[in-house]
Structure 1
Amino acid sequence: MTNDVLAVGAGMEVTLHFALTLEDGAVVDSNFESKPATFVVGDGKLLPGFEQAIFGLIAGDKKAMHIPPEQGFGQPNPNNIQEVKRKVFAADMELAQGLVVSFADANGGEMPGVIAEIGEEIVKVDFNHPLAGREITFEVEIVSVKPATTH
């Protein structure tokens, strides 16, 4: 092994192929059939639990790791299920359980919510991440690892 082989760690730029799979084998996201993703460890593009899982890997490594909810998308928070008045939605909007609706957050950004329950006056909207509470298999193939460059 030569000195110029770099491992995934803090301050490194990592290019990888990945797949996220649920317990039932359903693929949530994958870029194995397309261009690899590049990020800098700690830049927030990858959840910390996923970053930690690939620490120490080098270019060419392939690995599948089990990510529990606590290291992935967290556990569902009952406080993230909000009651919204039915009249907030457009009158001609067809609401259905499971429908993803975009809301404006306090900063004017978009925040997706899933319709959980529809009542006459109140609609319950779940703002938890859709993968909250789910165990994820994180499969990676490390394409390259190099020191991050600052612009």
Structure 2
Amino acid sequence: MSELTVTADSRVLAQLVLTLADGSVAESTRVNNKPALLTLGDQSLSPKLEAELMGLTVGSQHKFSLAAEDAFGPTNPDLVQYFSRQAFLDAGEPEVGTIMLFGAIDGSEMPGIIREVSGDSITVDFNHPLAGHDISFDIEIVEINPVLEEQNENLTG
């Protein structure tokens, strides 16, 4: 039997360490030993990131860097929005750096980061927190196409 490899429609459990250009670690799944689930082919990952994962096998370790536009995208100024303090009455006093969930028009929720609190104006950034950053990836493939507990629940529920 041939070993499973990452393909265009794989789900991959992977340990990740993401490092910024200044050498600081932006994200590490190794801290809590909770691998991330990456789904190829669903538009959640950039094409260049997916290309780096293709052909890897369980146990593979791969280090590579991507420019901002190929990692989490450039910062989009249209995703920075301004709200009045009134909009935050139920949520309490907003603090810079806090990540909050906001209801979208379609009923889904989007995370936004409070960037500035000035008088009656609250600036919220809906860009991915790593957008606009060149990222170095250190990835170890833990499992390919894992059976997920949620899938079983969805089938019965």
Mapping for residues 96-111 of structure 1, pairs under 5 Å: 96-111=95-110
The corresponding residue for 2:23 is 25
Mapping for residues 16-95 of structure 1, pairs under 5 Å: 16-32=14-30, 34-44=33-43, 46-90=45-89, 93-95=92-94
Shift of residue 109 of structure 1?
1.8
- Matched pairs, number: 147
Q: Structure 1 residues 56, 120: closer, same or farther in 2, change over 3 A?
A: same
Deviations 1:111-147 (A, max 9, x none): 122222223232221111111101111111224557x
Higher helix share: 2
Percent same amino acid at aligned positions? 37
Deviations 1:72-114 (A, max 9, x none): 1111111111111121111782233222222111122221222
In structure 2, what residue type is equivalent to 1:22? Answer: L
Q: Distance in 2 between matches of 1:35 and 1:91?
A: 33
Q: Distance in 2 between matches of 1:21 and 1:144?
A: 22
The corresponding residue for 1:119 is 118
Unaligned runs of 5+ in 2: 148-154
TM-score relative to the length of structure 1 = 0.76
Q: Structure 1 residues 89, 16: closer, same or farther in 2, change over 3 A?
A: closer
Q: Distance in 2 between matches of 1:96 and 1:36?
A: 30
Q: Distance in 1 between matches of 2:101 and 2:113?
A: 9
Q: Structure 1 residues 103, 91: closer, same or farther in 2, change over 3 A?
A: closer
Other structure's SS at 2:114 match: strand
RMSD between aligned residues: 3.0
Q: Structure 1 residues 94, 13: closer, same or farther in 2, change over 3 A?
A: closer
Q: Distance in 1 between matches of 2:108 and 2:56?
A: 36
For the pair shown, the structure with the greater C-alpha radius of gyration is 1
Unaligned runs of 5+ in 1: none
In structure 2, what residue type is equivalent to 1:105? Answer: A
Q: Structure 1 residues 94, 144: closer, same or farther in 2, change over 3 A?
A: closer
